[in-house]
Amino acid sequence: MMMFTKWGRILAVLAVLLGVLRITMAVTVLLSEDPARAASYLLGSKSTGQALDQGIYTIVFGVLVGVLTDISRSLISFREATLKDSAE
């Protein structure tokens, strides 16, 4: 497998995991006693809604990178199969 495909798979998994973590943190802060103050202190965002949006964007980015790496893997296997058939 190509080096960039492997790195892309790792990036995709990390992006999805970090997006889920961001959303989980935002919901936890939302359920706290003072979400407005806790959001700026714990999340680094102006509001919990902004943190939720960032988590969703991160998950979408991870899914897109994952799809691109799957396309890359299928093209690599197709190329190898074509080269194998032409060698015979």
Q: CA 38 to CA 31: how far, in whole Å?
A: 10
Q: Is the pLDDT of residue 1 over 80?
A: no
Residue 58, pLDDT score: 97
Q: Structure pTM?
A: 0.84
Q: What is the pLDDT of residues 3-14, one digit of tens each?
A: 888 999 999 999
Cα–Cα distances (Å) from 78 to 11, 16, 37, 55, 57, in that order, read 24, 28, 54, 35, 32
Q: CA 57 to CA 61: how far, in whole Å?
A: 6
Cα–Cα distances (Å) from 74 to 7, 23, 34, 35, in that order, read 16, 32, 49, 46
Q: What is the pLDDT of residues 34-83, one digit of tens each?
A: 888 888 888 888 888 899 999 999 999 999 999 999 998 888 888 877 87
38 neighbors 32 (Cβ within 8 angstroms): yes
